[in-house]
Chains A and B, each alone.
Chain A
Amino acid sequence: MKESFNLRNVEFKNRILVASGTFGYGDEVPDLVDIAKLGGIVTKSLSMKPRDGNPSPRITETSSGMLNSIGLANIGVHKFINEKLPTLKKSNSTIIANIAASSVEEYCSVLELLDGQEGVHGFEINVSCPNVKEGGLSFGTDVKLVSLITKELRKRTQKPLIIKLTPNVTHISDFARACETEGADAVSVINTVIGMSVNINTRKPKIATTTGGLSGPAIKPIALAKVYETCNAIKIPVIGIGGITSWEDAVEFFIVGASMVQIGTANFINPATGISVVEGVKQYCEKNGFDDVEQIIKSLQTDKTISIVDSWL
């Protein structure tokens, strides 16, 4: 059974990664998870300088999900290279550095610093950050800016370049096409969905920034639809993200077209979710006679006779 996946000459052991911001820098869970069994680790977003992040409260639980506004709190790229990367290198894992920045120049500088590092195997670019020059509007909702970032970063690295797209746009496929055109190797779909929650006793928002990013099972159907839309628009691989808590969820993403998946919020509940998804996907393939996970990717059956699902009852 072939579980591995190759992206621009980087071999991922399997197609299950852990999502940025849900696994720290990979060094916080050594007692709980054997990270070498995962397909890869996407680091917390890294910016040039350390960022304190947003005030408290930063999180709240909502129906089948959670809202967060962490504000990209991180130790900065220099500290990451000096203090975290040496340990990560020894872990025998594939490391994707996630980059967040407030200007195109900052994206480029952070990537250049990391590109020469042996332990960094590739990049995922978080474009859902406020663009300081444009009055704080997100880069990720402007297709021209996403094109520009992709183009500039492509010039600067031969390692896999993945753009993580926001679902908070009308047509995510327009953004995916722009990334493909400018030479991205893959796109991650989706980042969190903008959401809000209010305490009716105090009549205050439940998180300090009023609105935040919704994640968890609540967004899985949205994510699946966005992945489906994206996979039908581009030829480069799509990495599916959004509310995956089980291997069954991961298989759904593969069927609609995702080449890899990332586990996010589920890590907060069970840090070893990724490992169980790896096992579950493998068993599903073996049981159904697939000898490579590739065979289930984009295998959505489109005949119109929908059968009633037993498990619904």
Chain B
Amino acid sequence: MKQEIVQIHSLEYLTNEILELTFISDYLSSVAKPGQFINIRVGDNFPLLRRPFSIFNVEGNKISIVFNVIGTGTKVLARKRKGDTLDVLGPCGNSFLLFIDDSFDTAFFVGGGIGVAPFPFLTKHFPSHKKIVTYLGGRHKKLIVTKGLKNIKISTDDGSDGFQGTVLDLIKKDFQENDYGKIRFFICGPTRMMKAVANYANTINADCYASLECDMACGIGLCQGCNIEVIGGERKYKLVCKEGTIFETKTVWL
């Protein structure tokens, strides 16, 4: 893990609402693993704390993140331009790669809205002999990002793209219509969506791993601010930043 000042290579819209910010870092691009995040100081004095962003993609020495403008941090970030610098700390957290083994045939990637963020990088590094199905859900099509993904199935609440309904309805329908063998879920998105998908995974006897989001101050375990309650186990809480962000959904209270 390192803290470094990096230069922004580009900032472009992937949809009307979602931006991809790419910066150059020899270090991060060589060590980062899918599912990890970068804690970014988006402004010099405002906002005060860093903001965590999943690694969206790595290409050569370029790393990218995606975001939509939803609060103080992303508002500042959206004003950045090519050539501006950013203070980044990372890579932080664990990787989805820890949870890939021989006990499943098909991976269901489920991204809710901006929760799509970790999947393109994971797609790139996923074992080629395994099948991937990527389910993307969003309120409307402006929140659907397909870049870098494979075998994509889309749902929107308003029907503006793909299946009209929730991403879970889409998964259920697809699961009934096809034989995917032994399935493992890799999910990221709003808590409500993750809870619903994790419950469903349980009912069809599939393992489910979720990348969780949490307000964080440091991102490296110093502040103990991002706790998640553990089901069973010796300790009551784990830290999302350091012991996650990826957890088996059966082991935590979402």
- For window 21-73 of B, CB contacts with A under 8 Å fall at 41, 45-50, 72
B214, CB-defined interface residue at 8 Å: yes
Cβ contact within 8 Å between A268 and B1 = no
- Is A269 touching B49 in the complex (CB atoms < 8 A)? yes
Residues on the A chain within 8 Å of B78, using CB: none
Over the window 263-299 of chain A, the binary record of Cβ atoms lying under 8 Å from chain B Cβ atoms (1 yes, 0 no) is: 0010111111000000000000000000000000000
* Closest-CB distance, B216 to chain A (whole angstroms): 8
**Most chain A CB inside 10 Å of its own CB: which residue of B2, B215, B222, B226:** B222
Which residues of chain B are near A105, meaning CB under 8 Å?
none
Q: Which residues of A contact B218 (CB under 8 A)?
A: 267-269, 271
Interface centre among A22, A66, A269 (most CB of B within 10 A): A269
B1 touches which of A31, A68, A216 (Cβ 8 Å)? A31
Binds B, one of A49-57, A107-115, A144-152: A49-57
Q: Hey, which chain B residues are within 8 Å of A56, CB to CB?
A: 214, 226-229, 237
A217 within 8 A of B: yes
The CA-CA distance from A90 to B232 in the complex, in Å, is 35
Residues of B within 8 A of A61 (CB): 47-49, 72, 215, 217
Interface presence of B145 (CB below 8 A): no
List of A residues within 8 angstroms of B215 by Cβ: 57, 59-61
A73 within 8 A of B: yes
Chain A residues near B221: list those with CB within 8 A.
24, 28
B94 CB to nearest A CB, Å: 15
Residues of A within 8 Å of B1, CB to CB, are: 31-32
- A265 contacts across to B, CB distance below 8 A: 48, 217
Bound Cα distance A265, B221 (Å): 13
Which of A23, A28, A53, A59 has a CB less than 8 Å from the CB of B237? A53
Indicate if B79 sits at the interface (CB-CB under 8 A): no
Which one of A56, A60, A272 has the highest number of Cβ atoms from chain B below 10 Å of its Cβ? Answer: A56
Residue of A nearest to B221 (CB): A28
Q: Complex Cα distance A52/B235, Å?
A: 7
Alpha-carbon separation in the docked complex, A70 to B173 (Å): 43
Cβ-neighbour of A28 out of B41, B50, B220 (below 8 A): B220
Cβ of A58 < 8 Å from any Cβ of B? yes
Q: How far is the CA of A50 from the CA of B234 in the complex (A)?
A: 11
CB–CB B49/A268 < 8 A: yes
Interface extent on A, as a size class?
20 to 34
- Give the contacting residue for A58; candidates B3, B225, B235; CB below 8 A: B225
| Chain B: CB-nearest residue to A54 | B227
Chain B nearest CB: distance from A197 CB in Å?
11
Chain A residue numbers with a CB within 8 Å of B225 are: 57-59, 68, 70
Quick one: closest B residue to A65, CB to CB?
B48
* Residues in B neighbouring A232, C-beta threshold 8 A: none
A64 at the interface (CB under 8 A from B): yes
- Give chain A nearest CB distance to B50 CB in angstroms: 6
Asked whether A269 and B41 contact (CB < 8 A) given A61-B47, A70-B223, A73-B224, the answer is yes
A59 to B41, CA, bound (A): 17
Q: Is B236 an interface residue (CB 8 A)?
A: yes
A73 partner residues in chain B, CB cutoff 8 A? 224, 227, 237
- Kindly list chain B residues whose C-beta atoms are within 8 Å of the C-beta of A132: none
Closest to B234 in A: A50
Given contacts A61-B47, A64-B46, A265-B48, 18 further A-B contacts (CB under 8 A): A24-B221, A28-B220, A32-B3, A52-B237, A53-B224, A53-B227, A56-B214, A58-B224, A58-B227, A59-B217, A59-B226, A61-B72, A61-B215, A61-B217, A68-B223, A70-B225, A268-B218, A269-B48
Measuring CB to CB, which residues of chain B are less than 8 angstroms from any residue of chain A? 1-3, 41, 45-50, 72, 87, 89, 214-218, 220-229, 235-237
Cβ-closest 3 pairs across A and B:
A59-B225, A52-B236, A268-B218
